[in-house]
Amino acid sequence: MISKQDIEAFVEEVIGNYNDAFIVKISLSSSNEIKVIVDSYNNFSISDCIELSKYLESKLDRDIEDYALEVSSAGLSEKFVVIEQYKKNIGNEVEIITKEGEKFNIVLVSVSDKGIEFEQEMKVNIEGKKKKQTVKEKFQLDFDNIKSTKVIIKFK
């Protein structure tokens, strides 16, 4: 029987060749549908996905147990699943939805094991000024309070 732990070990063998690659998600259904999603701090290309897929196929035996295999890199529009995705996007603008339903477009400043620090532009009244001024303020948010996070894609 194919196990998720075996798949994870095989994936680690391949992505260990990439200094900056990490597993985002591995799922294995009861009908042996295997889905592997990987990412990296630089790029995990289509050819890298093909290499990983071929390696996994070499480790699994269809004669013993049939399976369906899908290997992909994390999509830009997908929600973050692991802390490495937050680390990868330090300095980038992301959309965060809190568990209370609040939505923020923020710039990630830093990431810890417990949560994130971010910058947000706010308009505030400054003494002696007639108009509100835009200032950047830093805030912290624990992962426990985050419902979802995804990258904001901007075209220049």
Q: Tens of pLDDT along the chain (156 residues)?
A: 788 999 999 999 999 888 799 999 999 999 999 999 999 998 889 999 999 999 999 999 888 889 999 999 998 889 999 999 999 999 999 999 999 999 989 999 999 999 999 988 778 887 877 888 888 888 999 999 999 999 998 887
Question: In the prediction, which pLDDT does 8 show?
Answer: 95
pTM of the predicted model, to two decimals?
A: 0.84
CATH number for the domain spanning 141: value is: 2.30.30.100
When the pLDDT of each residue in the chain is averaged and rounded to a whole number, the result is 91
Which pair of structure tokens corresponds to residue 32? 């042996």
For helices 46-59 and 4-15, give the axis angle rounded to 10 degrees. 130
Dihedral, 151, 97, 116, 110 alpha carbons, nearest 10 = 30
Q: For residue 17, what pLDDT is reported?
A: 83
Number of domains in the chain: 2
Give the pLDDT of residue 132. Answer: 82
Asked whether residue 119 is domain-assigned, the answer is yes
Please give the helix or strand (H or E) that residue 4 lies within, else none.
Answer: helix 4-15
Residue for token pair 């830009």:
76
Which pLDDT belongs to residue 137? 85
Task: Assess whether 21 and 56 both reside in one domain.
Answer: yes
d(CA 97, CA 149): 6
Q: Which domain holds residue 114?
A: 83-151
| Residue 156 in domain | no
Asked if residue 20 belongs to a domain, the reply is yes
The answer to whether residues 1 and 65 touch, using CB atoms and an 8 Å cutoff, is: yes
Q: Is 143 contained in some domain?
A: yes
Q: Which residues pair with 123 in a beta bridge?
A: 134
Contact 76, 88 (CB under 8 A): no
Cα–Cα dist 80/100, whole Å: 18
